[in-house]
Amino acid sequence: MTPFALFGRSHLTALVLSLIIPAALVALTGATRRVEAPIRWILAAILIGVWVWWYVLAYHRGWLTIGDGLPMNLCDWATIATIVALLYPNQKAYELSYFWALGGTVQGMITPDTLYDFPEARFLIFFVYHGGIIAAVLYLSFGARLRPWPQSIPRVALWSFVYLLAAATVDFVLGTNYGFLRAKPVQVTLFNVLSTWPWYIPELIALGFLSAAIYYAPWFIADRVRGARTNAGEVAISKRGAES
């Protein structure tokens, strides 16, 4: 089996596809809104299908252990929120998927915790799974026209601490490493530039707040620009009315 090559041809292809595919789907939805619901259902089916594929393959190949068989990684929680938002579009599920996917899953795509390259099954599962989450979130944002709001950040922060507590409890009871709360990943990831255990945990929390601010920033800027244009238009109309 070919070892995974960071930013190799297969890795870069997966990154590009995770952006091109949702862009194409958004463009198709712009042409006809009738495809919006079917696209959401197809994306949800892909995420569910690849998740089932992983469990079936892991079971038959003897990879399934207590350390990776429970849905206790943040990407698992992001997947659940994304599937719910795809099938039943709602603000709370969407905002969890938006911030968790962009804040965590994107990092997983850039520095993946995988040892094998294309066409090994574990490579395909990892990138279809993670890339599918990102594609779904982008489609929900620009195809289904959902978006985060200022009140989304404290709600997501609260649920993130719920996840942190749940993962820490499972790790303590079962001796696992969900959320990488007990040890860093083996592969080269963002964790390599962080402090040693356990000091990297508060650093991860700080990075979580930073990433939330970063991923909300485009919406914040767009709202301010839109507000400025609206105010300018209202002033112009008032001046024309006064002059007449």
Q: What is the 3-state secondary structure (H, E, C) of 52-102?
A: HHHHHHHHHCCCCCCCCCCCCCHHHHHHHHHHHHHHCCCHHHHHHHHHHHH
pLDDT at 193: 86
The residues pairing with 116 across neighbouring beta strands, listed in sequence order, are 3
In a domain, 16, yes or no: yes
Residue 21: closest CA among 136, 144, 101: 136
Alpha-carbon distance of 190 to 180, in angstroms, equals 12
pLDDT at 236: 46
Pick out the chain residues at pLDDT < 50. 232-238, 241-242
Alpha-carbon distance of 142 to 19, in angstroms, equals 12
Alpha-carbon distance of 212 to 208, in angstroms, equals 6
Alpha-carbon distance of 99 to 221, in angstroms, equals 17
In a domain, 223, yes or no: yes
In a domain, 1, yes or no: no
In a domain, 128, yes or no: yes
In a domain, 15, yes or no: yes
Boundaries of domain holding 73 = 9-243
In a domain, 88, yes or no: yes
Residue 238: its H or E element: helix 200-243
Q: How many domains does the chain have?
A: 1
In a domain, 216, yes or no: yes
Residues 6+ apart with CB under 8 A from 78: 96, 97, 100, 101, 104, 105, 133
Residue 111: closest CA among 185, 37, 48: 185
- Tokens describing residue 197: 């255990």
Question: SS3 of 116, please?
Answer: strand
In a domain, 177, yes or no: yes
Residues 6+ apart with CB under 8 A from 102: 134, 137, 211, 215
